[in-house]
């Protein structure tokens, strides 16, 4: 599976989350990067969480290869730009941030702490240690 398959698989999971009847809770842990951050932001509103030490990474999709004829490379690049726009639209819709801001942030690897991801709108709440103990 090439790199282009990963965003497509993540988009398939995102679409499933958005089209099932029950609310879907998403929880970020460890490094929630690339397609995983797309899935994280896709959780139901108010049900997107992150553990305190989670790192969230957003960036633009990358091509699986740059070999072949110039036409093949051109076609793959065009698909990557379309995919980039779709992903930026999703982040914009789910975070409330403007598409141009999302696209700018996706130009490079943008790492966020759990609290930065909350401020950005990717998660709704950071799960605190005391909250976990209270629920036992």
Catalytic residue numbers?
Answer: 59
Per-residue three-class SS string for 83-115: HHHHHHHHHHHHHCCCHHHHHHHHCCCEEEEHH
Q: Are strands 110-113 and 55-58 parallel, antiparallel or unpaired?
A: antiparallel
Q: Helix 5-19 crosses helix 70-95 at what angle (to 10 degrees)?
A: 30
Strand partners, 26: 48
Element at 79 (helix H, strand E): helix 70-95
Q: Which two tokens stand for residue 63?
A: 């091509």
Q: Are strands 48-50 and 110-113 parallel, antiparallel or unpaired?
A: unpaired
């Amino acid at each position: 599976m090439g790199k282009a398959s990963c965003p497509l698989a993540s988009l398939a999971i995102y679409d499933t989350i958005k089209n099932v009847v029950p609310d879907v809770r998403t929880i970020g842990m460890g490094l929630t990067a690339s397609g995983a951050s797309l899935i994280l932001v896709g959780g139901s509103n108010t049900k997107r969480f992150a553990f305190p030490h989670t790192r969230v990474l957003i960036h633009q999709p990358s091509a699986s290869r740059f070999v072949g004829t110039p036409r093949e490379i051109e076609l793959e690049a065009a698909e990557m730009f379309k995919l980039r726009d779709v992903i930026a639209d999703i982040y914009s819709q789910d975070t409330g941030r403007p598409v141009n801001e999302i696209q700018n942030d996706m130009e490079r690897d943008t790492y966020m702490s759990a609290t930065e991801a909350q401020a950005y709108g990717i998660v709704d709440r950071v799960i605190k240690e005391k909250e976990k103990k209270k629920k036992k």
